Structure 1
């Protein structure tokens, strides 16, 4: 587990580091804005990443005027974007750098580059996703 994700701070310390009242942290936990882990005695434990999230919630609320429902949606979308970025990086590992695998056809739809194929793609092939590598390459 990375140091930023280590759930080590009790609520009073996390509240002080985030510049908030502990009751605010409890409310944010109930709303699902931050999800601390629970110690064996049910006490909340926060990580540095949680504290950074709390600071961002406070900034969005106070500086930008975003309500808590909007902040929750923003945080959800940021998590989704992070997951999609990781997925893109994972998929990039399968493609040679600088080699175009997909292009846009005249209508703007994604078209798959084909290896030595001169025939037009059929309807079912247009929807398929194919990773093509030139022959002779691993």
Structure 2
């Protein structure tokens, strides 16, 4: 598999299974969706589908909520993290273009988890 199309990104897990894996109720999960903290896909039958990455995100959210962090603060932090990741990806791409332009070989391999 390549880059972003990891099995962890595939939205195939039902909300019932997510509840079993996380210990969260359907109501809690739907609330996090309403607060724009999680973004499940919908099947043709309108059922929510989640990925393993979504489950990890839900666990992070639940832990932060338990620590007293407000959903607004969580959403802002998630936005910052996404922007930082996008910025790093753009910088890596720019560096790759510079290296290609000047024939610089980059022998260090970066593996994404």
If each structure's helix is expressed as a fraction of its own residues, which one has the higher value? 2
Q: Which has the higher contact order (CA 8 A, sep 6+)?
A: 2
**Structure 2 SS opposite 1:94:** helix
Structure 2 stretches of 5 or more lacking a match?
104-113
Q: How does 1:10-49 map to 2 (within 5 A)?
A: 10-49=14-53
| Alignment RMSD (CA, Å) | 1.5
**Structure 2 SS opposite 1:95:** helix
* Alpha-carbon displacement from aligned partner over 1:86-128 (angstroms, at most 9, x marks no partner): 11110111334xxxxxxxxxxxxxxxxxxxxxxxxxxxxxxxx
Distance in 2 of aligned mates of 1:79 and 1:17: 25
What residue in structure 1 maps to residue 57 of structure 2?
Answer: 53
Structure 1 stretches of 5 or more lacking a match?
97-132
1:66 matched to 2:66? The reply is: no
**TM-score under structure 1 length normalisation:** 0.66
User: 1:36: how far off?
Assistant: 0.2
* Alpha-carbon displacement from aligned partner over 1:24-78 (angstroms, at most 9, x marks no partner): 1111111110000000110000000101110111121113x21011011111111
> Greater CA radius of gyration, 1 or 2?
1
